[in-house]
């Protein structure tokens, strides 16, 4: 299949039939090939001299997240303090990319991050299920934006997608993008419910066509969450999108990424699959709650020559 031009991409969203024809005309994903490449790249090591830089890069890409029913303003204030100064004893440690909270806690998060440069992301659109009507989803988004969210993490309607109602999913993303105003939009595909790599590729392209600034693997509430092969497929999508349009869009794996080794495997994948220009928090994020703690402990190990316990970094 030849690469679609920018003109052709604008044509494929003209109607539901055109959209379906385009999405089902995308090349199939070689399951064995993508899993083997992910496994091979996952074994690649980096030199000790580069590890500290990789850790700092990963820290800067973390969306420090709390999405629990028991979340409180106090917990969010603690989270924002951690986001601004991940390790108070090492001032050179970069701040994280963003904190991610529910819409009703956005104002608390905005006050907490201040002018530090840390973004405030809010989940929206009936997270995590996406089971509501468009009016409710837009109200959810507008609540977060009005409270000061700089990023919106929406969820697609997986039921509609899996039923082949691609036009409905497309129109919802377009409407939420409009409601975001200046806030960046991350589109959560919930890849653990999409069943196949081909569906992940189709959902990625659908989100990109509809204007998503980032495509995100998961809510973190469904298993499996982020996996390296799925992230490879999504990185291929944003790379191909750049090749077709010249536009750079981001990727955010979320859920299940807990260790520095995990994070470095993902950074290697970003470099090798999409390209080094994606190695920035503007184009790659980790959705995580516990990853930052391990990154900080491993960073201290690199600097001090011995393993540091988790006490000084834990935020629960």
Provide the domain limits for residue 238. Answer: 30-304
Selected catalytic residue, list 153, 157, 240, 262: 153
pLDDT of residue 315: 46
pLDDT of residue 49: 75
Given a cut of 50, whether residue 225 has pLDDT beyond it is yes
pLDDT of residue 196: 98
Does residue 14 lie within any of the structural domains?
no
pLDDT range class, residue 76, cuts 50, 70, 90: very high
Residue 221 a catalytic site member: no
Given a cut of 80, whether residue 226 has pLDDT beyond it is yes
Does residue 13 lie within any of the structural domains?
no
Q: Are 294 and 260 in contact (CB under 8 A)?
A: yes
Q: Please state the domain count of the chain.
A: 1
Given a cut of 60, whether residue 312 has pLDDT beyond it is no
CATH number, residue 285: 3.20.20.70
Q: Work out the average pLDDT over 234-244.
A: 97
Does residue 21 lie within any of the structural domains?
no
pLDDT of residue 304: 87
Q: Work out the average pLDDT over 145-157.
A: 98
Q: Work out the average pLDDT over 1-19.
A: 76
Percent of the chain with pLDDT over 70: 94
pLDDT of residue 48: 78
Residue 216 a catalytic site member: yes
pLDDT digits (tens, 9 = 90+) for 173-182: 999 999 999 9
Does residue 197 lie within any of the structural domains?
yes
Alpha helices, H only, the chain: 6-12, 16-25, 31-42, 48-60, 73-84, 106-113, 134-146, 158-162, 166-180, 197-209, 228-245, 260-269, 291-304
Round the average pLDDT of the chain to a whole number and report it: 94
Does residue 15 lie within any of the structural domains?
no
pLDDT of residue 155: 98
Given a cut of 70, whether residue 313 has pLDDT beyond it is no
Does residue 86 lie within any of the structural domains?
yes
Does residue 216 lie within any of the structural domains?
yes
Q: What is the pTM of this model?
A: 0.94
Does residue 70 lie within any of the structural domains?
yes
Selected catalytic residue, list 82, 137, 177, 252: 252
Q: Work out the average pLDDT over 125-131.
A: 95
Given a cut of 50, whether residue 19 has pLDDT beyond it is yes
pLDDT of residue 1: 44
Q: Are 173 and 210 in contact (CB under 8 A)?
A: yes
Q: Does the N-terminal peptide bond of residue 224 adopt cis geometry, omega within 30 degrees of 0?
A: yes
pLDDT range class, residue 148, cuts 50, 70, 90: very high
Q: What is the DSSP letter of 287?
A: E
C-alpha 269/C-alpha 189 separation (Å) is 19
Residue 153 a catalytic site member: yes
pLDDT range class, residue 2, cuts 50, 70, 90: very low
Angle 252-282-284 from CA coordinates, rounded to 5°: 25
Selected catalytic residue, list 63, 140, 216, 240: 216
Q: Work out the average pLDDT over 133-159.
A: 97
């Amino acid at each position: 299949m030849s690469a679609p031009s920018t003109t052709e991409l604008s044509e494929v969203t003209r109607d539901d039939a055109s959209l379906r024809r385009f999405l089902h005309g995308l090349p199939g994903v070689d399951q064995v090939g993508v899993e083997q490449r992910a496994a091979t790249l996952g074994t690649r090591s980096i030199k000790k001299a580069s590890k500290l830089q990789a850790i700092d890069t990963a820290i800067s890409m973390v969306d420090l997240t709390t999405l629990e029913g028991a979340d409180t303003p106090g917990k969010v204030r603690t989270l924002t303090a951690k986001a601004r100064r991940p390790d108070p004893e090492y001032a050179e440690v970069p701040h994280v990319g963003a904190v991610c909270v529910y819409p009703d806690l956005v104002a608390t998060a905005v006050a907490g991050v201040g002018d530090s440069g840390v973004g405030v992301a809010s989940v929206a659109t009936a997270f995590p299920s996406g089971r509501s009507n468009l009016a409710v989803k837009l109200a959810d988004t507008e609540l977060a934006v009005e409270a000061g969210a700089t990023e919106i993490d929406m969820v697609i309607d997986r039921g509609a997608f899996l039923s082949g109602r691609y036009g409905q999913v497309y129109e919802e993303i377009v409407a939420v993008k409009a409601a975001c105003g200046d806030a960046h939009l991350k589109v959560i595909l919930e890849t653990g419910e999409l069943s196949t790599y081909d569906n992940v590729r189709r959902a990625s392209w659908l989100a990109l066509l509809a204007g998503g600034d980032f495509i995100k693997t998961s809510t973190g509430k469904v298993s499996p969450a982020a996996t390296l092969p799925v992230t490879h497929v999504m990185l291929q999508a944003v790379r191909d999108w750049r090749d077709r349009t010249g536009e750079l869009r981001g990727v955010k794996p979320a859920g299940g990424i807990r260790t520095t080794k995990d994070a470095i495997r993902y950074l290697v994948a970003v470099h090798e699959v999409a390209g080094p220009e994606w190695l920035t928090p503007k184009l790659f994020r980790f959705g995580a709650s516990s990853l930052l703690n391990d990154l900080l402990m491993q960073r201290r190990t690199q600097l001090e020559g011995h393993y540091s316990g988790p006490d000084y970094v834990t935020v629960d």
